[in-house]
Amino acid sequence: MSKPKVIVTRRWPQEAEARLRALFDVTLNVDDRPLDRAALQRAFRDHDAVFPTVTDRIDAEAMSAEPLRARLIGNFGVGFNNIDVAAAKARGLVVTNTPEVLTDATADLAMTLLLMTARRAGEGERHVRNKEWSGWRPTHMMGTQVTGKTLGLIGLGRIGRAMAKRASHGFDMRVIFFDPFPPPAEALQDLGAERRESIESVLAEADFVSLHCPATPENFNLMNAARFAAMKDDAILVNTARGDVVDEAALVRALADGRIAGAGLDVFAREPAVTPELLAMENVVLLPHLGSATRETRTAMGLRVIENAEAFFAGKEPRDRVA
Ligand code: DGY
């Protein structure tokens, strides 16, 4: 029997590409350049499975090829807001994602951003590299203490819980959260996480607010001007979820007016573009969507896409089917 014909839209870590080669008749993207619309359409027309990443917009137009050969979309990423799932279903395509394998890496990065923003690490590094440092002094570049403070989580799924664990076990933080679908009470005990009935109650109490909710239409601009006003004026926002959960213009105003103290951002509403005002703000730490970017995790993500595809082509239900 001939091997399924699959295409990946970007480079993958070596080990994952080697496994793709072993199992499939694979089209790799050796130049690592994003596919344009026409190339994406051809991908769906000429392959049994398309393995996009979170930056490929897989909408009805991308899947409009006639006849359509593709039957599977194996997203390299846990978030799948890049895929029009309804359109995929309408075209008979199965969609999978890569949960679990990136939980720890993403929570590690959320904590990195929290610490960097609180302790002014980005600003301090620029200060040293720019040769502006004139020496230690008691009032130099004072940040805000992290240990013992209150962390407010918006969303307590896998990554939110991993963040809660780091904060409570590692930094003695009190953890409060809002989630419309909270985990069972046993899962909360170990974390000592306290539930709040609304986002506003979390914002009113938290010294740090970290976003761990999906990019659904309901969560679009969830952090807006009113919600920034509801935060403490010395609080810090951390976003490793998705850019469009935050109204970036409102964030800029809140930071400029001192309504909040800082922000640590790994994701942006119009990636790779970053709202220019943010680039000029010292109290903002900016990272280029690195949440899952460890060698181990990115390899595991690729292998998880492959595991789902193997199941699919063997006629079984892929474990990470989302549509
Ligand atoms: C995901 O998987 O959704 C991440 O944003 C990629 O790191």
- Active-site residue numbers? 242, 271, 289
Assigned fold of 103-286: Rossmann fold (3.40.50)
Q: Is the CB of 110 under 6 A from ligand 1?
A: no
Tens digits of per-residue pLDDT, 35-70? 999 999 999 999 999 999 999 999 999 999 999 999
Domain 5-101+295-313 classification at class level: alpha beta
H helices of 130-247, where?
158-165, 171, 185-191, 199-205, 225-230
User: Pocket of ligand 1, candidates 10, 54, 98: which has the most ligand atoms within 8 Å of its Cβ, to mutate?
Assistant: 54
Query: What's the pLDDT at 1?
Result: 77
> Is there a cis peptide before residue 67, judged by omega within 30 degrees of 0?
yes
User: Pocket of ligand 1, candidates 56, 78, 97, 212: which has the most ligand atoms within 8 Å of its Cβ, to mutate?
Assistant: 78
Closest residue CA from atom 1 of ligand 1:
77
Q: Is the CB of 77 under 6 A from ligand 1?
A: yes
Residue 285 forms beta bridges with which residues? 264
Spatial separation of the C-alpha atoms in residues 312 and 21, rounded to whole Å: 17
* Residue ranges, CATH 3.40.50.720, the chain: 5-101+295-313, 103-286
Residue position matching structure tokens 């070596």:
14
- 17 CA distance to ligand 1 middle (Å): 19
- 156 CA distance to ligand 1 middle (Å): 17
- Per-residue pLDDT averaged across 172-194, rounded? 92
- 264 CA distance to ligand 1 middle (Å): 17
Residue 7 forms beta bridges with which residues? 27, 50
Tens digits of per-residue pLDDT, 74-123? 999 999 999 999 999 999 999 999 999 999 999 999 999 999 999 999 99
Tens digits of per-residue pLDDT, 241-264? 999 999 999 999 999 999 999 999
